[in-house]
Amino acid sequence: MSQGLSISILGGGSAYTPGLVQGFINKSKDVPLDRLVLMDIDGHKLDTVGHVVRHMLETALPKCELRLTTDRDQAIRNTDFIICQIRVGGLQSRHIDESIPIKHRVVGQETTGPGGLAMALRTIPVMVEIAAEIQEKNPRAWLINYTNPTGLVAEAIMKTSDIRHISICDEPMVLQESLGAFLRVPPERLFFDYFGLSHLAWARRVFLQGVDILPQLKDTVEHTPLEKIESLFGEEVLKDPKVRTELRNTLRIFRETGMLPSPYLQYYWFTDEILEQQIRSGRTRAQEVMQLEQVILDECRKAAAGKRPFEALRGGKRHADMMVGMLGAIADDTREVFIVNTTNRGALPELPYDKIVEVPAVVDARGAHPLAMGTMPVQVRGLIQAVAAYEELAVEAALAGSYGLALDALSCHPLVPSRKLAKSILDDYMAAHGESLAYLK
């Protein structure tokens, strides 16, 4: 790379931002950073996180210019890469997304099922607007999107814009790093035969030096106490009951299928169990994250005041490594393989050619080039195709502003048992979210 990059982060006041900046610091030799713009509509959070980021840069990258702004125009113009990690409506809207389905005895989750539709309907119009601004003001820039629901956002941008963009999720990298830790090998030595949709994907085979290690791993897992497996992930990670439950359910699915699933498969395989847990809890995951975010922002304030060093409690190594690695692969044209959300182009022939899928892809200066993953196992093909149909309808609903298409989308989602129930949930969302969904007619 001949010179340092100019990078902006939309949603720069996020608790993930310091961890992401640490990733740039760690990889500064490969991905040099000359200018960083943090943009957020919440000026208070932006200032809090910005103080910490400024200290980090002054210590590690003193020549890097930092700018804080609430003006999206300043974050779009004159940048090489625009990283987007926004949450339209904030965590309070996420709470609505998750609580309404639970009231109707349907799983409440931010990106899966009804909650994912509500999030998409709020988020897609904003992301389409951002893409249009990038195309008008800075068409040479790359948009690296981390905003959920990632696959649906990518599909909407692909249908409405010609900008250069890649959408990513760190779930595949979490799976890769976790498996590397279990096997005691560097995760980059593992190649995943990985297929599906964002938050609905599987590793069918995992190759180490050309040998599929999943059959041996399955045998090992079946004869290894769960406590020993959990110990590999560290006490700090597993103190979150949600993460511990995800790990245990992922292992249950792996033992039955011999394939490693995305943790989100638990909502489809253990629907009744999870719903009962959510009802008993009396709290949504959004409420738990609100509390966690306050803890992190308090840590940021203390760090900004010099009372203690900052520790990246969210947005740490995995999130940062994938984001920064992706930028480097594009900027340096290194043709590295990442698992990304990209246009299918026949990578999964049982899904539409222009569908956004999550598969390994070669990433270079021209973007992501998906690798052919072939046909999907029949045991999981139907579920993936059903959710793919839901996603297509959801994107169409958001782009057309159509209540009818939104109802069609929710009615065909595997987690929603009837059209009557789908209508009740959608109407409750319309009432609760008010202006943000008023465009649906």
Residue numbers annotated as active site = 264
C-alpha distances (whole Å) from 148 to each of 26, 171, 198, 437 are: 26, 12, 10, 17
Q: How far apart are alpha carbons 90 and 261 in whole angstroms?
A: 28
Return phi, psi of residue 97, to 5°.
-55, -40
The structure tokens listed for 164 are 């250069």
Which residue type, as a one-letter code, is found at position 35?
R
Which residue type, as a one-letter code, is found at position 137?
K
Of the chain, the end-to-end C-alpha distance in Å amounts to 49
